[in-house]
Structure 1
Amino acid sequence: MEASVQVLLYLVFTYVCFTWFVWRKRSRIEPMIGMVSGMTLGMMVGLIAGLVVGVLFKGELAYSTMLGIAAGAFSGLVFGIPLSVLTMIEGALSGLMAGMMGAMLGEMVPYEQIEPLLFLFIMLCTFCIMLLTRHIAIITNEKGSSPKKFGWQHPLVGAMLLIGVFVWFQSFPAATVHQKQEIKQSVELVASDYFYHPQQIVLKKGEEVKVTYHNQGKLGHVVEIMSKGTIEVVPDASQHRHGHDSTSGEELHLFAEPGKSVSYVIRATTAGVYPFYCTIPGHKEKGMLGSLIVK
């Protein structure tokens, strides 16, 4: 099972368990405690879910933002239903903001920094949930005493859970939540007026891949990949020139007239992240840029 699915399943499991725990004790929970719990849960769900979908749908920020917002707001809203209207509002708004932030982080943060960030969020979520669980267990105890010595809300149980989450997360393969960006024998890059789709392309080092560049805009657009001489190119018969030789120099140039397409067979010899952008003046500044990721 890929890591993104494992993370989302853990998030759902944590949400269901904590929600069930709080709902059972709702008659003895003060309104402020319920609001804090709703805000915390909505924020953690929105942040983690938003980060995951932001990575899975890189280059589609509007779509990933909507998914992150929906996950965070819905989780906070549902949690507060049996508690109070204020808890519903606080949870939904916290989840909405966190989902938006998580999707933006998933879009902007480089792939190699996603795993440490996701690990930090998961550990923070687990710690906050365990802390709230223990606090609620203490204040709702019928006799007003501390939880049982060996109860599941005991601090040692929380510590063991944190250690378990740490070990589980370290078992992930080197490529985790971005595994959905699968390596393909062929890749299509679409340019319209002032944007590329997708903005991230993932290739495997040493494999030959056919790259087809479609210009669907009303203007001519260039794709210049800052390859540093590490990408070998065999141009296709449909190749067009734009004052450059795509096989010369250290950079790779692709050009297509409006409504036209060109194809190249390329082979990347060195792993890394190589930015690409449109070299026509003003186009890069308007958003025509992305990155080629070689594993």
Structure 2
Amino acid sequence: MKNRILAPTLAILILGTTSLGLHAHGTKEHTPRQHVVKEQTGWGIAGEPEQANRTLEVVMTDDMRFTPSAVQVSEGETVRIVVRNAGQIMHELVIGDREALQEHAELMLRFPDMEHDEPYMAHVPPGETAEIVWTFNRAGEFEFACLLPGHYQAGMLASVRVESQQVAGTAPNAPRSMQ
């Protein structure tokens, strides 16, 4: 009887996480995306590499920190984020709002072998780099975080402030200095 109830519940959990755009983490090596699906999120949309007007380097370390720990962009700006893992263990960078990141971090604790392949996520093995091109087309306060089990809970997150165009006073994709 327990198996009859458990199996459908597990199937719903698995299908539910898949519908959120989450996939298995596992140990397989991630390959560069051949085609990026552009889906609007509350924190932006995948950008085109040729439209990026600024490159932001983000370094991840085993002390569960990102450098820089805070970034600022203008609404509409497309940024190439080069993510470098300077540590000895796997890390990732996931862009999102606080609620989505907390929810995903909780799922990662329950299902540590989850894998995802969304354009706002980069999985970076030790000593390697990855890249995200993202258009921040929503003003607000967002974050990027490492959602591997224990990393987020240890404070591995950084703030992303996206200023409204009216506040920033700049046109989208206008050249700006690196922050």
Q: Which has the higher helix share?
A: 1
**Structure with higher RCO (Cα < 8 A, 6+ apart):** 2
